[in-house]
Homo-oligomer: A and B are copies of this chain.
Amino acid sequence: MLTDGRLVRGDRTRTAVLDAAVTLATEYGLAGLSLAQLVETLGVSKSGLFAHWRSKEERQLATIEHARAQFAAQVVAPALAAPKGVRRVWALHEHKIAYVIDVELPGGCFFTNAQFEYDARPGPVHDRLAAVLAEWLALTERLTAEAVTAGELRADTEIHQLAFELNAIVTGLVHHSRLIPTDDVAALGRAAVLHRLRALCTDPSLLPEE
C-alpha cells in the first residue's frame, strides 16, 4: 500500500500510467479505460491511482492531455522545424502519417479513435476531444495561410476546404490501415496529400514527387 502510494505519486509513474492509458484507450476505447485494466497492466494499486484522479472522467481528461503532449512532441514540434510555407504544411502531414502508421498504439491514433468513440456522447470528454480537433484544423489553416502569403500556394487556395481534406486523408488512413492491413497505406496517404498540395503549389519542386 505505502509502496504503491509512493510509486504512483512519483512523476515517472504518473507518466507510465498515462502512457498505458493512451495505449489501452486505442484498443478498448476511452470509455472502457477501467481501473481494473490499468491496475493489471501496471501492477499498481487502485488506491494509488485514486491518489491522482478521483473520477473516471478526471482520468480520461488527463489521458487526453497526455496524448496531446505526445502528439505535439512527435508531430507538431518536428514539423515546425521545416521552413515556413508549403514545406511546413507537408512536413506536418508527413510526420502525422508516419505517426499514425508507425506508432506503437494498437489503434493507430489515440485522437481519431477517441473522437469517433465520443462523437455522440455529450460531456466534458466530448468537448475536449472536439477542441483538440478544432485546434488541429486551425494549425493546418494557419500554416496553409502562411504558404499562401509566401506565394508558395496559389492565392485562390480555399484554406478551410484544404484543411478539411488533409485531415480527412489522415483520418481515412487510420481507418484503412487497421482494417485492410495488406495495403501500403502510408504510400496511399502520402500520394493523396502531395497530389492536393502540388496541384495548388506555385513551385512544385518545393515538394517531393507523389
Number of copies: 2
Q: Give, as a whole number of angstroms, the nearest-CB distance from A178 to chain B.
A: 3
What is the distance, in angstroms, from A53's C-beta to the closest C-beta of chain B?
A: 22
Q: Are A137 and B180 in contact (CB under 8 A)?
A: yes
In the complex, A106 has a CB within 8 A of chain B: yes
Known: A116-B175, A165-B172; 9 extra A-B contacts, CB below 8 A, are: A29-B29, A106-B120, A116-B116, A116-B174, A165-B169, A165-B192, A167-B172, A168-B192, A171-B175
- Tell me the A residues contacting B by CB distance below 8 Å: 26-29, 31-32, 106-108, 112-113, 115-117, 119-121, 126, 129-130, 133-134, 137, 160-161, 164-165, 167-169, 171-176, 178-180, 183, 185, 188, 191-192, 199
26 CB contacts below 8 A, A to B, read A27-B121, A28-B121, A29-B29, A31-B32, A107-B120, A108-B119, A108-B120, A112-B116, A112-B175, A115-B175, A116-B117, A116-B175, A119-B174, A119-B175, A130-B179, A134-B180, A164-B176, A164-B185, A165-B169, A167-B175, A168-B169, A168-B172, A168-B173, A168-B176, A168-B192, A171-B175
